[in-house]
Structure formats: C-alpha cells, structure tokens
Chains A and B, each alone.
Chain A
C-alpha cells in the first residue's frame, strides 16, 4: 500500500497541475506588486511566498505517493492534532492585531486554523463515508459530525477569527448536504441555523465584528472608519476599468490607499492593475481549477474520494467566493483570504496539500484497491 506504482505517473492530472501553477504564478506576480513598496513587509514577503510555493509543490509530490484512502484511518488522529494546535494557539499563541491566531515555530509562524479547516474536511469525508447507510442521515446520526464541526468553529471564533470559523460551518453544511439527508433532518437543521443567526448576532459577535457587518450594509456611513477598507477596495477594483492601470501602476495599491493588499485584498490589486479583462482571465483560470476539482469528484474511484474531493473544492470555492465578494463590496469584510492567491504560508501550504489530495484522487481513479 505504501509502495508507489509507476503506472500512476501516467495518470497524473497535468491539467490540474498546470492550472494551479498558473494561479500561483499570478499570485506571486501580484504579490510583488503589492509588497515591493511596503516598508513593513517588502520583498521578504515575496521570497517567503516563493519558498512556500516550492515547499507546497514538494508536499504535493509526497502526498500523491500515498493512496488517499489512508486518510480514513488517519482522520481522527489528524483531527486531534488539529484541535491541539488550535488550543496551543490559544494558550501560547502570538497576539497580532488583537487576535491570537499564530504559533511561532521559529522558522515559521503557523496559523493552525488553516490546516484545521482541511482536517475537518478529511474527518467529515471519512465519517460520512463510513457511516453512510444509503438511507439518508437522521438527526441523531448527525450528532457526531455536528460536534466535529462545532469544536474547531468555537475555538477559532474565540481567537477571534470570524471568517475562518464560519468556513468550518459552511464546509460542514456543504458536505452534509452533499450526502443524503432525510428531509425532516434538513428542515430541523435549516430551522436551527436560521434561529441561530439573531442569537449569534447578540451573544457571539464582538462589537467590532457587528460594526463590520453594519458598515457593510451601509459603507458610506463611515468612509474613514470601518467603511474605509470596503470603499478603498471598491475604488481600486472599479478604477481598473477595462484594461487596468498596468502592472505595478495601480495607484490605490502602490500608494498604500488599499489596506491588507497582499493578504485579504490581493485580488483588488490584481483588478486595479489588470482591469476587467485581466480579472476575467484570472477568474477563468481560478474557477477552471475548482470546476475541474468537481470533475475529479465525479470521476473518483470511490465514495470517499468523491466526498473528499467535493469537500476540498467546497473549502476552496467558498473562501474564494467570499473573498472576491468581499473585496468587491458584496459581502462584509470578514477576513477570508483568497486561497492560493493571498499571501500567507499556512494558508498556501494547506491549500496546496488540498490540491495534492485532488491530484491523488484523480490519479487513482482507475486503480482497483489491493
């Protein structure tokens, strides 16, 4: 099982690899533009991201050697490891800008919430794979997966990192809807979720988080305060016009008007400098990779591969959608990065591992398990 079958090489999904490579190259190009004039980050960010890319593609090589179904057995140990890391961040973590998200590993500052999301996908995929009877899940049967999603959700919410925490719930919802549910179960879950929203507003959200959402609903009410991010990002995107201001010539980005422009607002930089058509090219590449991911799910050898691929695509897609909708002013600023594009080592490595798993599933689609 741990022996690598040379025939697998023929089945490597070069289309996916090429698409991901294209996206990460665009990300590096954009990162250079976003950070070259930034005194605080500067070119070190660019080189860091470059090395993380190399590391990530190295990890993909390792990942594809092992059959993905090994993850079924590893899912709970991984899940426990993820929770431990989240707890470690809570206890030992560095506080940056008011939130405790990072563990300093010396050579690398790990953000455990990033791998935690992927681990949740793996855990849910293996749980649903093992427990699915084909008759549809009842509410009691969903107790464990709900718990699996709620624990990281609460830990991440505590950091606080609303965007990442919500991703746990969204991924849970997507994957649960994907497997067969009884209608009654669906009705109860949906009802609970709707009822939870006002409660969450009142008890869970911190004042600044409530403020962000209020600002989103009416950004011009406070253009210099919390509406600033959204206003500046919309100006950056909008002023790109058809063909953009030119690479390295985006004034919103280069002159610092755009905040967080190498992380959450990286796409604004791209849209400003490359314009509508450049952004369409980017989105075409990007969403091609994700739709291709769904195709991997369809053609997967088994149900676990299908669930895993679907979960990974859901994880990537929802983050991408929320991020882009956020920088274009369609959703409140919740701090969700654009996977594979925003600066950040933990996120990049996690997402590349996810891509590695997709390649893994794809290349074993014809293989019969031994």
Chain B
C-alpha cells in the first residue's frame, strides 16, 4: 500500500500533459453533445413548438355538446301549446356502487317498485361498460325525484339522468299539426350530412316539429373540457352557450281547435277553420288524434301496427291528405261555371221531379219527391241535384274543371304540411289518359254534383269557401303567424300570399253566397243545423258517396257497416255580410252533411264569435252590400 501511495506523487509530466489533452478532447465532445441537445430542444420547442402545442391541446380537450332548448309552439294569442320539460330518469352506474344489494332495496322502496323489476333492468344492461348508466325507471315525478336527491348519500351508484322532452300542454290536441320528436335515425343523419345533427339528437318526425325543425332546434352549445388520459373530465375550460330555438307562433287559436275537436268527439274526420281575408288557419284538426304520449322515444312496433290497422285511419292527416269526393259542396263550382259561362241566369229555372232521365238511365235527386221548379238560389239552398245535372250537362267536364281549378281544387294549396294531396278534378283528357276510355256524358252529371272522379281535401274546400266569401281571392293557407327568437324579437312574420283569383264576377259570387245563406237560414235549407242566433251563417252541405250499392240504398243509415257509410261535408263562412271565417267539416262515414257535419261547424263558429263579438265591429261596415240575404 505504501508503495502504491508513493507512486501517486510521481506523475510523469509528459503523461500528465497527454491526459490533460484527452480531458480537453472529452470536454469538447461533451460540449458538442450538449449543443446537439440544445439544438434539439430548440427544434422541438421553438421551431415545431406550435405544432406540438396544438397536439397537446388536442390531447387534453374534448368537446361536450350542450343541448339547445327547443323553441316553444304558441297559438295566435301566445298560449303555449308545446314547451320543454326535463324528463327525469333513474339510472344505475355499476362502477359507483360498492353495495348494490342494500342500495337497490332502498331504491325499490322509494320508487315503490318490486326489487325484482330493478334487478331485471340491471341484468338487461349487464353487458354495458361499468361506468355507463343503465336506466332503472323513466320519467319519475317530482316527489320521487326529491326523495332520491334527499337520500343520495345512501344511494351510491344511483343517479338522476335529465333528458330534454316535449311538454304537450294540450295533450293530443292538434296532434297532426304539431307532430312529435324522435331520435334521429341513420337515414335522416345521412340526408343531413354536414348539417347540425348528431347521433342521438332529437329531430322532428312529423308536423310542425319536422317541418320547422330548423327554427325550433336552436344551436347546440359546446363545452370544452379538459380530460386526463383516461378521458375523465378534470375541468371545464370554456363554452359556447347553446342558442335556444326560435318560438313558433301559430295562427291557430287553440280555443277554436279545442271547440272543433270537442264537437267532433270520437268521430273521425277533419275540421279546418280559416280567416277568409288572409288564409290564416284558425283551427286544423285530423281525428282520431295521434297518441303523442306513446311516441316519445320512437313509435313502438305494436302501437304502429295498431294505428295502421285502425279503420279510422289516424295516421292520415285528413285536412291535407284525406281525399274525398266533394259531394254537394262542389255545386258551388258548378253554379259559378254555369253563371259565368251563361248557361244559366240567376232566374233560369229547371223542374225537379226527383230524378232526371239521361240517356237510358235515371239520375236521382237526393229529395225523392223532387223540388219542383228551382232556380239558382233554391238549388243551392236546398241542394237540388237535378238543377245541377242540367247545368253540368250544358257545361261539360272540361269547363267545370276550369272553374274548379280557379277555386283551388285539383292542385295542392301549398300549405307547409307534409304529403299534401292535390285531389283530382277530372277532364275528358284526364279520363282518356287514366282509363283509356272516352268521357261518358253521364259522368258529367255525377261530377256536376261532386261525385264520381272528383276528389278534394277538406283544406281545399275550406279555401274555396273562403274565396267565395272574400269575393274570389285564393289565399295560400298558412298556420305560422311569426317566428320569434328567444328574446321575443321577430325572425319572420306572417304575410298573406295570394295564389289566384276565382273565375267569374263578384256579382256571381254574391249570388252564390246568397244561396249558401239560404241553405243555413231558410226553412227548407239543408244546413239549418248550423244556423246561429246572432250571426248570419252561409254554408253548403255535402255527402260524399263511398260506395253506391243497391243493398245499402234501401236500408237506413245505421245498418250500413261503418266503412261503407257516406262521408258528411259541411263548409260555411260567417258573418254573411262581412265574412271573417270559413269553416269546413268532414265527418268520415258520418252520413249526411246537414246532420253530422253542420253542428260541428256551428260549435266552432259559436266559439269564434264568443271570442270576437260582432258588436265590436263598427256597425256601418257590417251593412250588407246586397239585399239578397233574406229568403
């Protein structure tokens, strides 16, 4: 050891110099390597820094979507028809439940359910990931919600899920109009590619909810959250608030809607009420109503089957999709054509013996005994078929069709409702094309009284009635009064749209109005059931034949099976001298218009004039222009 230590002091100066040189070389190598590190650091942090900063940002941030409150649907007076309502569901998160048995026992007590029901639900969701919620009970009430919240500390694993849902303040009223929501399906997603919709979104599936979805839905908000590597949210960073959907204010008066649906009771059919001078819809109903409460979260297959097989066809939105022969309401068209084509004058009269022989057939009038000698006024008031056979025969189908078209029949009204039907107004050319057969003259008699190939929708008839009432202007039916944003500011507002003018002169329409007034107010009128005390109503009944079978002609109405019974029409306007409202009622398989449909229209009119008393209108303006009103 001592020798070894002795060596230490003896360092050869040459060797020392060499080692020092090597340390210098080592120092140089070290500095070079450090320089590489610094350059690399500069490359990562300065040169490529923003790129990596972006990647780090993408790493840690996730976007969560905030549902936008859907717009409300209001009636014309601001009464809320549909609003939003949070739906509270009880959910179970397995991951958070250390003692499931006790918790479920406790929860079953609060929910007043048997524990087996809960266990069944949990079993059904057993293949879910542990951290995802399984629904135990949907739509709990406030009391239950409070009970669960108060006991939350005793219920680990139990959570309340809040789901936005629609609150139908008037239940199933106007169900076809308002429609319903459902979860967006893959086809809808594909159709809206690039649009604002995402998987799981609610989207309007029918009615206003569908047609005006773009206004109602608002804009989803986005919340940027910071997540850790497992995706757990650590904190909220920033958010773009959701933009609530726009409110839709309808032209519909829910009070009239209610009056119409109440008056229809459990009968199937349609009621349309319209402002004659604007085309605003006041009420529009299709019955039977859709069971909207069964539609939330998709229509169950059994419900769908049931609706599909219902002979009252609730799936058809009858005011615009139901096509019925117009029956005697069509006599308005034939009358106008006859006057304008000068085949009759107001004083031309025909003799009605109860039937008309034409060719080798006899065409009956509804009144077997006959009307005797009838001119235009009585022909309309008492709905004499023979009179119109004569007129129609002189006109021919193509001329009648021209007048029907000018009154808006045979084409879509343009209302913003889905699958509107155009109906059918036959011409000789149409028949040739459709059946490859020439027009038979006898068919002209049928169509002159609104049977045969004629098909119309209740909305078309209502619009025609309004046009007759207002002097010939054909307004487009509209049911949206205004679109307002959540602050109440108007986004857009109703403007009447004129789609056409009826052929004929104002004087001719006046003559027709007289006839319609007679139908309601004269002792032999067909629509006396619609007569009102204080308001002069003018209207026309109609009976749309479903089948023409000899066996049913003989038996009384109630013995005919439901589906073979005639449809009952009634269309009217009021007040006679300064018309405001037109109402059209169709009762499917309801029999005669006068007895089945007219009382419904009267109920709507009664309600309307309760809400809009005529006394409030300056009396000077209510003076009738013509003295022809009284029989």
Contacts and interface: CB of A to CB of B under 8 A. Distances in A.
A348 B350 CA distance: 121
Contact of A234 (B8, B38, B52): B52
Interface residues of B, number: 46
A257 B229 CA distance: 5
A279 interface: yes
8 contacts: A134-B15, A235-B56, A235-B59, A237-B41, A242-B45, A294-B26, A328-B41, A369-B9
Contacts of B230: 256
A325 interface: yes
Most chain-A Cβ atoms within 10 A of its Cβ — which of B12, B34, B53? B34
Interface stretch (A7-15, A40-48, A296-304): A296-304
B1 interface: yes
A366 interface: no
A275 B50 CA distance: 12
Contacts of A330: 36-37, 40
A310 B22 CA distance: 10
A36 interface: no
Contacts of B45: 237-238, 240-242, 271, 275-276, 279
Given A234-B44, A321-B37, A69 B5 contact: yes
Nearest to B47: A238
Interface string B23-46: 100110011011011101110111
Nearest to B8: A302
Interface of A: 69, 72-73, 130, 134, 174, 177-178, 180, 232, 234-242, 251-252, 255-257, 271-272, 275-276, 279-280, 283, 287, 290-291, 294, 297-298, 301-304, 306, 310, 314, 317, 321, 324-325, 328-330, 368-369
A148 to B, nearest CB: 19
Nearest to B48: A238
Main secondary structure of the interface of A (DSSP, over half): helix
A257 B8 contact: no
B414 to A, nearest CB: 56
Main secondary structure of the interface of B (DSSP, over half): helix
A72 B41 CA distance: 41
A193 B9 CA distance: 36
Given A235-B52, A369-B5, A257 B59 contact: yes
A287 B20 contact: no
B18 interface: yes
B52 A321 contact: no
B55 interface: yes
A364 to B, nearest CB: 11
A328 B40 contact: yes
A118 B288 CA distance: 92
Contacts of B36: 325, 330
Contacts of A275: 45
Interface of B: 1, 4-5, 8-9, 11-12, 15-16, 18-20, 22-23, 26-27, 30-31, 33-34, 36-38, 40-42, 44-46, 48-53, 55-57, 59-60, 226-230, 234
Contacts of A255: 59-60, 226-229, 234
Contact of A283 (B38, B51, B57): B38
A238 B37 contact: no
Contact of B30 (A130, A237, A290, A303): A290
Most chain-B Cβ atoms within 10 A of its Cβ — which of A72, A240, A271? A240
A130 B9 CA distance: 13
Contacts of B40: 325, 328-330
B51 to A, nearest CB: 7
A257 B230 CA distance: 9
B146 to A, nearest CB: 35
Contacts of A294: 23, 26-27, 30
A303 B31 CA distance: 24
Nearest to A325: B37
A294 B25 CA distance: 11
Contacts of A369: 5, 8-9
Contacts of B31: 291
A234 B20 CA distance: 38
Contact of B37 (A302, A304, A324): A324
B8 A287 contact: no
B56 A236 contact: yes
Contact of B53 (A241, A271, A303, A324): A241
Contacts of A252: 56, 59-60
B56 A328 contact: no
B44 A328 contact: yes
A72 B226 CA distance: 57
A238 to B, nearest CB: 3
A321 B19 CA distance: 23
Contacts of A130: 4
Contact of B42 (A178, A180, A232, A276): A276
A242 B46 contact: yes
A218 B405 CA distance: 76
Given A237-B52, A287-B30, A291-B30, A297 B23 contact: yes
A234 B53 CA distance: 10
A69 B8 contact: yes
Contacts of A280: 38, 41
B41 A317 contact: no
B61 to A, nearest CB: 9
Contacts of B53: 238-239, 241
B580 to A, nearest CB: 68
B30 A317 contact: yes
A294 B24 CA distance: 9
A240 B1 CA distance: 55
A73 B34 CA distance: 35
Contact of A134 (B12, B37, B52): B12
Given A310-B23, A368-B9, A279 B30 contact: no
Given A276-B42, A306-B23, 12 more contacts: A69-B8, A235-B55, A241-B45, A242-B46, A276-B49, A279-B41, A280-B38, A291-B31, A310-B23, A328-B40, A329-B44, A369-B5
